[in-house]
Amino acid sequence: MSEQEYHTMEILCRDCERTFTFDEKEQAFFAGKGYQTPKRCVPCRRAKHARYNDDREYLKRASIEVECWDCHELALVDFQPAPDRPIYCGRCWQKHKPDSQGG
């Protein structure tokens, strides 16, 4: 078993576009976990992680495939559609959503 050597890296964060240091300890930790080299600095990673969990929850819910009543394209919705109510994809929904102005 050979010990891998790590050298501190400077990485440009893709979120805040600032350079951050990815040091040996972190690299060893990431390698141990089988993670890839991070593309974001720590604060952005944390923010991303928080968002990621939200996204995952969202994607889990947004995975119901329905056919748009208008253009008949498949759309993903985050709710269980009632069978007797029209379902529209995002684009058609813009056309069909109830207009709150005037009448």
DSSP label at 23? -
Calculate ∠ Cα 8-11-12, nearest 5°: 160
Report the nearest approach of Zn ion to the CB of residue 18 (Å): 6
DSSP label at 103? -
Closer residue to Zn ion (CB): 57 or 62: 62
88: which 2 tokens?
């529209």
- Per CB under 5 A, the list member of 13, 28, 47, 66 interacting with Zn ion is 13
Closer residue to Zn ion (CB): 2 or 36: 36
- DSSP E strands, the chain: 9-12, 19-22, 64-67, 74-77
- Per CB under 5 A, the list member of 12, 15, 54, 63 interacting with Zn ion is 15
| Residue 24, SS3 per DSSP | helix
Q: Which of residues 27-66 bind Zn ion (CB under 5 A)?
A: 41, 44
- Per CB under 5 A, the list member of 16, 62, 64, 76 interacting with Zn ion is 16
Residue ranges binding Zn ion (CB under 5 A):
13, 15-16, 41, 44, 68, 70-71, 89, 92
